[in-house]
């Protein structure tokens, strides 16, 4: 079974099979995570996005990673262009990203906190949704060995850490209750 890893750092510096872009349905690499991907990865990523857009809310698209250390970028459409993200769209695009990575036979993937920037979703709710989707995915059959969440800044990292720890404690308590 694969593992979930939390890191504080820059998503665009990750040497993984794929990083996930917190995308809009038009796949326009605007600001935030998408802007950093465009800036560091080069114009070829936007060109590939243009060829695949638009995508439906909650879907994901795959492009090469340009000059980034990752092999691919998975563009997770968590909001419409100019709109906001919600719990359902973030859950759907995280699921779609994991499914796409599995179909491609990828072993490692790195996510940002999707929907929490211009998308407006609360960071704790993003952590709860994203970590739950990762756990569910890893319980099934998948080639993914590592699902990494790369958070910008210690406060974001600490919120993901708190949510992850709470879920692990709940799982341990459930096992103890089951053993009685």
> How does pLDDT run across 94-121, given as a tens digit for each residue?
999 999 999 999 999 999 999 998 899 9
Q: What is the pTM of this model?
A: 0.94
pLDDT digit string (tens) for 112-164? 999 998 899 999 999 999 999 999 999 999 999 999 999 999 999 999 999 99
Per-residue b/e over 160-174, b at no fewer than 16 CB within 10 Å?
A: bbebbeebeeeeeee
pLDDT digit string (tens) for 4-21? 999 999 999 999 999 999
Range of 28's domain?
A: 3-179
Is residue 157 within 8 Å of 126, Cβ to Cβ?
no
Is residue 9 within 8 Å of 62, Cβ to Cβ?
no
The CATH number assigned to the domain holding 96 equals 3.40.220.10
Q: What's the domain count of the chain?
A: 1
pLDDT at 171: 86
Angle at 3 between CA 143 and CA 37, to 5 degrees: 80
Task: Calculate mean pLDDT across residues 77-93.
Answer: 95
């Amino acid at each position: 079974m694969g593992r979930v890893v939390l890191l504080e750092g820059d998503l665009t510096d990750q040497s993984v099979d794929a990083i996930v872009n917190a995308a809009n349905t038009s796949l326009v690499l605007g600001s935030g995570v998408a802007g950093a991907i465009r800036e560091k990865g080069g114009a070829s990523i936007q060109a590939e996005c243009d060829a695949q857009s638009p995508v439906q809310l909650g879907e994901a698209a795959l492009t090469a990673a340009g000059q980034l250390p990752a092999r691919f970028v998975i563009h997770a459409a968590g909001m419409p262009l100019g709109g906001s993200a919600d719990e359902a769209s973030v859950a759907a695009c995280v699921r779609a990203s994991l499914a796409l990575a599995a179909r491609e036979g990828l072993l490692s993937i790195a996510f940002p906190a999707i929907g929490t920037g211009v998308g407006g979703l609360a960071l704790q709710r993003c952590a709860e949704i994203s970590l739950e989707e990762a756990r569910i995915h890893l319980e099934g059959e998948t080639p993914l060995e590592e699902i990494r969440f790369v958070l910008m800044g210690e406060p974001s990292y600490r919120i993901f850490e708190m949510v992850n720890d709470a879920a692990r404690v709940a799982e341990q308590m459930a096992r103890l209750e089951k053993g009685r």
